[in-house]
Amino acid sequence: MDIKVLGPGCAKCQQTEKVVKEAVAEAGVSSTVEKVTDIRKIAEYGVFGTPAVVVDGDVKCVGKVPSKQDVKKWISKQ
Amino acid sequence: MENKCCAANNEVMILACSGGSNVGQLSNRAAVELTQEGLGKMYCLAGIGGQLKGFVQSAKDVPVIAAIDGCAVGCAKAILKNAGIQNYNYIVLTDLGIEKNKNFDLSDEDIIRVKNAIVAACKGPNVGAEAGKFSRIVGCCG
């Protein structure tokens, strides 16, 4: 599973990356978590704001820090 | 996209018709000017219509949307309905008394009228596309 956390790098983006990594570890799912900080690459996803989370190419949330519960739901459905 | 971290979570997403008529282009022009003036940020209605995931999810997650249709054909309304989005501020320019035609020389008076209507729609109750349907009232738009 390929997970991307989109965000140039502020407290919310860092928190999102932390939440995602914790959720992945707790769920025991095999995946890569990549932080995308380049604005041009972020823009390619068509998101209105950051942070944003993308799971296997599917944008799951935009503009907010997701809950760990939500992240686990997303990764369990893949 | 702005080089500003965590932008737009509290911004108004402005989605405007940009159709082939005076009212389509008035919608678009008003959206551009309101973005420049800081009411919110113009976004990609076509991306939502094309069901591109980033655009659809952004529209679902943003707290406030201002959707502007040029006329009663209601393309913006239809696109949002197809995307499963129901809560948004909505105006139709022909409802403001602007007659639809093919004259693309847009008057400053009409542009101002449209902008004022959008701002008023954002400041008042958040009326959805169907009359009488209220959703969140958000203290946005200035």
Flag whether pLDDT at A35 surpasses 90.
Answer: yes
Contacts for A7 with CB less than 8 Å, ≥ 6 apart:
A13, A14, A16, A17, A35, A36, A37, A42, A50, A51, A52, B5, B6
Three-state SS letters, chain B: CCCCCCCCCCCEEEEECCCCCHHHHHHHHHHHHHHHHCCEEECCHHHHHCCCHHHHHHHHHCCEEEEEECCCCCHHHHHHHHCCCCCCEEEEHHHHCCCCCCCCCCCHHHHHHHHHHHHHHHHCCCECCCCCCECCCCCCCC
B4 interaction partners in chain A (CB closer than 8 Å): 8
The per-residue pLDDT for A78 is 58
Decide if domain A2-69 falls under CATH 3.40.30.10: yes
Closest partner CB to B3 (pick from A39, A58, A62)? A39
Record: contact B62-A43, CB cut-off 8 A: no
- Domains within chain B, CATH numbers bracketed: 12-123 (3.40.50)
- Amino acid identity for residue B113 in this structure: R
Bridge partner residues of B127 (DSSP): B134
Q: How many whole angstroms separate alpha carbon B136 and alpha carbon A35?
A: 33
Contacts for B21 with CB less than 8 Å, ≥ 6 apart:
B70, B71, B100, B101, B102
B41 interaction partners in chain A (CB closer than 8 Å): 48
The catalytic residue positions of A are 10, 13
The per-residue pLDDT for B7 is 53
Flag whether pLDDT at A21 surpasses 90.
Answer: yes
Record: contact A49-B8, CB cut-off 8 A: yes
pTM listed for this prediction = 0.84
Residue of B nearest to A16 (CA): B6
Per-residue confidence in pLDDT tens, chain B, 142 aa: 444 455 555 689 999 999 999 999 999 999 999 999 998 999 999 999 999 999 999 999 999 999 999 999 999 999 999 999 999 999 999 999 999 999 999 999 999 999 999 999 988 544 333 333 222 223 233 2
Instruction: Dig out the tokens for B137 from the structure.
Output: 């009232």
Is any Cβ of chain B less than 8 angstroms from the Cβ of A64? yes
Domain ranges of chain A: 2-69
Nearest 5°: the CA angle B66, B68, B72 is 140
In chain B the first and final C-alpha atoms are separated, in Å, by: 22
Is any Cβ of chain B less than 8 angstroms from the Cβ of A9? yes
Is B59 within 8 Å of B12 (Cβ atoms)? no
The per-residue pLDDT for B6 is 55
B52 interaction partners in chain A (CB closer than 8 Å): 46
The per-residue pLDDT for B132 is 30
Q: How many whole angstroms separate alpha carbon B6 and alpha carbon B2?
A: 10
Q: Is the ipTM of this complex over 0.95?
A: no
Place of tokens 């203290």: B139
Instruction: State how far residue A37 is from chain B, nearest Cα, in angstroms.
Output: 10
- A49-65: average pLDDT: 96
Q: What is the average pLDDT value for chain A, to the nearest integer?
A: 94
Flag whether pLDDT at A16 surpasses 50.
Answer: yes
The per-residue pLDDT for A2 is 96
